[in-house]
Amino acid sequence: MLPPPPIPFWRRPRARLYALTALVWLLVLGVLFAAREVLLPFVLAALAAYVIDPLIARLTRARIGERTVPRWSAVAVVYLFLSAGVYVLAVSIVPQIYREAVRGLLELREFLAGIGPDTIDRWAHSIDDFMQRYGIPVDVLPGEGRTGARLHVDLAAGLADALRDASAAARGRLGDVVTLSRALLTGTVKTIFFFVLLFMLTAFISMDAPRIVRSAESIVPASWRPDLRRLLHGIDTGLAGVVRGQLTIMLLNGVLTLGGLLVLRVPFAFALSALATLLYVIPIFGTILSSIPIVLLALTAGGVSKALFALGWILVIHALEAYVLNPKIMGDATRIHPVLIVLALVIGERSLGIVGALLAAPLASIVVAVFRFLQRKLVELDVPPSQPPPPEAAP
């Protein structure tokens, strides 16, 4: 009696199940792509839940008598301390930042309105004298008629056009004090609503985090689950450095920046420190962008010496970050090559703007963790079965 013919691959139950699962995932990804503009609170809530998860897990391991702390109680305790910290920040520092921001915008509008042709010509002549004094072959004034191979730039016309556009934008956006205050109040209300929604979503995700992980593992075949746990461990190691480590370093840098600006008596110290703290989230470019207004305001307030001191303090902070904080907090396992970071930032900014730039580093760490996992799997496949796997391939 002949054996029954083999069943074609596409008619096997497991193959059909895999095909159906792939179709469902494609539909889910399609829905997420279509709704990408409203996913930001959910993505940030997932990252926030990931950041506070170690505190919650440590509290759930504590014992009160014969029982352990329930997870919802641990989430409530963490939220209580976070709410206290946010309240202290809101009543002590945020009003000062708000006052400095309003005053700085109004002074910027008055400064742009007070610049005339005589001021621009005086600046252009000063820059031209500097170029000639140090032998730089650039003419910034038209009709000078200097001989030799020189670069001619009409700086006065360029400054006039740039300041005209900046002044028009300032008048159009800032207007008067009432309009400016109304715009800032509207932005503040939207920000408060966004953070309330973010806190709610973070609480829901934090309370159900173990169930979410178990549900994700349940849809993977049992033979793949050890590899899935190894992959998740690698992703967790990378994200722990990029997200938790970067947030810790960001807060430390913000405090050090505020202390230095207060000692140097740089104007708008609280607003500049808040801006620098937020920009520190973006690797490399955030450091550069936050340093420019600090140095410029120090230059206008106290001259070249104060600007050099401010720049020197910023360099000290970043040296401390690079050589002390990064190795201690983030570790070697989470390091990503700067070229990959810059590539991820450029792609993220071009794709999703500032949101893409903020999420670029965490996504890059996930991609790097996946490639490292695949590399270790290839190493294991190259090892003969009689030999033990190399140390870097062991779970």
* pLDDT per 10-residue tile (average), the chain, 395 residues: 63 74 84 80 86 87 82 89 85 81 75 70 72 69 55 61 63 56 74 85 88 81 82 81 78 88 87 85 77 84 81 87 70 66 81 78 84 82 60 46
Residue 110 lies in a domain: no
Comparing CA positions, the residue from 224, 249, 233, 235 lying closest to residue 323 is 249
| 244 in the same domain as 366 | yes
Last residue of a domain, which of 164, 184, 219?
A: 219
pLDDT for res 386: 57
Residue 101 lies in a domain: no
| 315 in the same domain as 189 | no
| 257 in the same domain as 333 | yes
Last residue of a domain, which of 219, 248, 271?
A: 219
Residue 205 lies in a domain: yes
pLDDT for res 9: 62
Query: What b/e readout covers 26-36, taking b as 16+ CB neighbours within 10 angstroms?
Result: eeeeeeeeeee
Residue 17 lies in a domain: no
| 226 in the same domain as 286 | yes
| 279 in the same domain as 211 | no
| 276 in the same domain as 193 | no
Last residue of a domain, which of 186, 219, 252?
A: 219
Distance, CA of 10 to CA of 15 (rounded, Å): 6
pTM of the model: 0.64
pLDDT for res 147: 54
| 226 in the same domain as 210 | no
| 387 in the same domain as 293 | yes
Phi, psi of 67 (to 5 degrees): -115, 155
Domain that holds residue 68: 38-92+176-219
Residue 14 lies in a domain: no
Question: Around Cβ 345, how many Cβ atoms within 10 Å?
Answer: 21
69 sits in which H/E element: none
| 268 in the same domain as 183 | no
Answer for the pair 369, 237: CB distance below 8 angstroms, yes or no.
yes
Residue 28 lies in a domain: no
| 294 in the same domain as 253 | yes
| 347 in the same domain as 320 | yes
Residue 383 lies in a domain: yes
| 214 in the same domain as 276 | no
Which two tokens mark 31?
């829905």
Residue 146 lies in a domain: no
State how many domains the chain has: 2
Distance, CA of 131 to CA of 122 (rounded, Å): 14
The three-class DSSP label of residue 63 is: strand
